[in-house]
Amino acid sequence: MGFPVPTDFASRPVAVIGAGTLGRRIALMFATRGGTVRVFDPSAEQRAAAVEYVEQELGSTIKTLRLAGPPGEVVAGDDQDAAVQDTWLVVEAVPEVLDLKKKVFGQLDAAAPADAILASNSSSYASRMFIDHVKRPERVLNTHFYMPPASITLDVMSCGKTDRAVIDFVLETFPRYGLRPFEARKESTGFIFNRIWAAIKRESLEVVAEGVSTPQDIDEMYVLNFGTRYGPFRMIDQVGLDVALDIEEHYAAENPHLPEGPRKVLREYIDRGRLGVKTGAGFYDDYKTG
């Protein structure tokens, strides 16, 4: 018998663990069809910012994505166990620190309802790597979001023990919330699109590291050549240079032959407090904070 996926999900909350840049955006998407989305974060500042972001963006997101609505609500708290009570889905969006993810998933497995799906938004770690303390790994998988609502795609990948019913349920259900999931059909570091993006990002940083060009010139060329809105360095600023470095460190741990230059460039900016949009400056200075 397969895993009993939740049939009454429409009347149950979703929980997002972590209220950072992506956590609040994930909460926004699941608030587009009514009901409650609970956001947990130990930082009161992050919690308040997440609630404010969802409240500001919810109406326009429903309209832009032509969703049925009606809008739901987002509530934030500092009690993780309370946040996951009665949920049908819990999405982990904590920092890319493997030991932290192992700890959090053990806690979520113990506190969440037996039929709740436990999903990780990790951008570089396969969920297989943090189920050490999980007793029901058949309900664990990666759901890697990009940058909703502007980018509605996400990767869906098994932890190696995920019940097929869970993967099928996610692929069928998430589009109701304006999302477009794609299945990674075997384990892949970087999933699908992130593997392609990693190569672009890494080579862009290496060109800067070698002194061949500047972030601004590379971005301008990229936009003109591909017709995109942003170039690689604007996109790194959006994600956060610290997050980008964590991801690059993970790739380098798996492949020691990767060049050091990209990580060196990121560290130089991070050491000056330039983490991107969230600090008001990264490769660019024209971001508003507060």
Which of 109, 258, 94 lies closest to 189 in space, CA to CA? 258
Amino acid at position 187, single letter: E
What is the CATH topology of the domain spanning 9-183? Answer: Rossmann fold (3.40.50)
* SS3 assignment, position 124: coil
Q: What is the pLDDT of residues 30-88, one digit of tens each?
A: 999 989 999 999 999 999 999 999 999 999 999 999 998 789 999 999 999 999 999 99
Do the Cβ atoms of 157 and 149 come closer than 8 Å? Answer: no
H/E run at residue 66 = none
- Tell me the average pLDDT of the chain: 95
147 in Cβ contact with 179 (< 8 Å): no
Going by C-alpha positions, the residue among 16, 98, 88, 84 that lies closest to residue 50 is 16
Q: What is the pLDDT of residues 240-266, one digit of tens each?
A: 999 899 889 988 988 899 999 999 999
Q: Distance of CA 136 to CAs 76, 81, 117, 141, 143, Å?
A: 27, 17, 10, 11, 17
pLDDT digit string, tens, across residues 193-229: 988 999 999 999 999 999 999 999 999 999 999 999 9
Domain ranges in the chain are 9-183, 195-279
Q: What are phi and psi of 203, to 5 degrees?
A: -70, -35
Each residue of 96-112: pLDDT tens digit?
889 999 999 999 999 99
**pTM > 0.75: yes or no:** yes
Residue 274's DSSP bridge partners are: none
Contacts of 269 (CB under 8 A, 6+ apart): 241, 275, 282, 283
Class of domain 195-279: mainly alpha
Distance separating alpha carbons of residues 28 and 149, to the nearest angstrom: 8
Q: Specify the 3-state DSSP secondary structure of 20.
A: coil
